[in-house]
Amino acid sequence: MNRPLNRGLIIRLVAVVFVGIAILVTSESDAARYSYSSSVIPENSIPKLDRQTYIFLTEYGKGLRNVSNTYGVDWRLVLAVLRQESAFDPGAVSYRGAEGFMQIMPSTGLQLASLHNIDDISDPYMNLRLGVIHLRDMIRDFPEAEGKNRVELAVAAYNCGYTRVEDAQTVAQFLGDKPNSWVAVKSALPLLSARYAPLHRHIWSAGKPTSGYFGEYDQTLSYVENVMHYYNIYGNVLQR
């Protein structure tokens, strides 16, 4: 004769089902929407974590994952940006005054800190949090781009500013290219330099890009290439 199921067991089973459904419904985070299928590196050629990355993750890895998950950004992408920005040095200061792990400019840091109730922007964890928020905001600024293009445009904007990338998109569109393609924007960034002033007069009523001339495009192009290189490596080495 079949025994009746224990009532407590039934309740627990139902709870598990509902939790599973909730996870499926809520797991579509920004990180999932903004990520892309990175190139799969053959297992025998995947490099090991370098000493700098390993030391950083030993001390700050948990905090990095927590804050990245909170704001819906792939923590491996944040790690790649962090590596390029400060080489994991919490006391790093650039010649322009950018500070900390994520090299936040003072004006940007103060603005974000006031919006998110952060008092000490020099604290390593708070600096990391501000950087993740800023990167998340950059990703959200390119809703028309998809997958890898969206990530690359956001990384470029993190480096040189959103309006600078927007200027390059405007040039790309004027030339009949795709403004939401990183390849197109990558080609357009050098055209923001002063030497292309005759072109600018056909695009902007003021006769020059909205953010002014841009002569440091090489730095931004290298920045994006390096960040995406390490993002791909971290994506293979540091599996979810």
Residues marked active site are found at 85
Question: Which residue has 């974590």 as its token pair?
Answer: 49
Return the ∠ at Cα 75 (arms to 70 and 79), rounded to 5°.
135
**99 forms bridges with which residues in the sheet?**
93, 104
CA 70 to chain centroid, in Å, comes to 14
Cα separation, 56 vs 213, in Å, equals 37
Half-sphere exposure of 200 (CA within 13 A, CB side): 20
Residues in the chain: 240
| Structure tokens, 131 | 């950087």
- If 0-12 CB within 10 Å is exposed, 13-18 middle and 19+ buried, where does residue 134 land? buried
Write a three-state SS string for 91-134.
CCECCCCCECCCCECHHHHHHHHHHCCCCCCCCHHHHHHHHHHH
Q: Which residues of 45-80 are buried (b: 16+ CB within 10 A; e: fewer)?
A: eeeeeeeebeebbeebeeebbebbeebbbbbbbbbb
Cα separation, 12 vs 206, in Å, equals 67
